[in-house]
Amino acid sequence: MTAEPKEPLFSKKNMKLMKDPLIDNNPVAVQVLGICSALAVTAQLKPSVIMAVSVTVVIMFSNLIISMLRNFIPNSIRIIVELTIIATLVILVDQILKAYAFEMSKQLSVFVGLIITNCIVMGRAEAFAMGNKPWPSMLDGIGSGFGYGIIIIIVGAIREVTGAGTIWGKEIIPDFLINLGYVNNGLMVLPPGAFVIIGLLVWLQREITKKYEAH
């Protein structure tokens, strides 16, 4: 079931699977998936990072497991089987966070559970893992997770700095600026702030890759 002996583990093709979703085919910026959680948990940097890691772990293992089972999963119930596997992994992540990162799990609250409904996870399982070998599937999962993670970490960092004047919970706005009348941007604390930043990131991504439809 492993890759054919001729193909090395980190062949160009495999590496492309991992690098592609970072910029060229970013799940958030290009496919516009996973927006819900990208709005909800990105008010601060720390929960964004935890969320990014959680989602990456879930996609990685769901892709791996589903790819390993792909020849056995009956076609008529494949979606529900994928969902069961994803849900199991998500609950595991939730339980582990509750045991080892209690504060974070409280802050992320329902959004850990909602990883189940993150379209990126289901999308990769259905579009890639069902038709590819375990190793490439896992790389694809890691890549997609990073692609999602990089966006929410950027959004989280910008929102925390502009909205709360802190980064990773530490005050960074110098006193003299506050004395000069600097105020935090309240909009950035609210979900619409994330929309604005994601919009700007999508624009930036299009500019870098030059992949857009001419109108």
Task: Write out the residues near other proteins by the rule CB under 8 A.
Answer: 72-77, 80-81, 84-85, 87-88, 91-92, 95-96, 98-100, 102, 106, 186, 189-190
Smallest distance from the beta carbon of 167 to other proteins, in angstroms?
A: 16
Nearer to other proteins, 13 or 106 (CB): 106
Smallest distance from the beta carbon of 72 to other proteins, in angstroms?
A: 7
Q: What is the 3-state secondary structure (H, E, C) of the chain?
A: CCCCCCCCCCCHHHHHHHHCCCCCCCCCCCCCCCHHHHHHCCCCHHHHHHHHHHHHHHHHHHHHHHHHHCCCCCHHHHHHHHHHHHHHHHHHHHHHHHHHCHHHHHHHCHHHHHHHHCHHHHHHHHHCHHHCCHHHHHHHHHHHHHHHHHHHHHHHHHHHHHHHCEECCEECCCHHHHHCCCCCCHHHHCHHHHHHHHHHHHHHHHHHHCCCCCC
Bridge partners, residue 171, by sequence? 166
Smallest distance from the beta carbon of 127 to other proteins, in angstroms?
A: 21
Nearer to other proteins, 24 or 191 (CB): 191
Nearer to other proteins, 174 or 186 (CB): 186
Nearer to other proteins, 142 or 188 (CB): 188
Smallest distance from the beta carbon of 12 to other proteins, in angstroms?
A: 34
Smallest distance from the beta carbon of 116 to other proteins, in angstroms?
A: 13
Nearer to other proteins, 33 or 60 (CB): 60
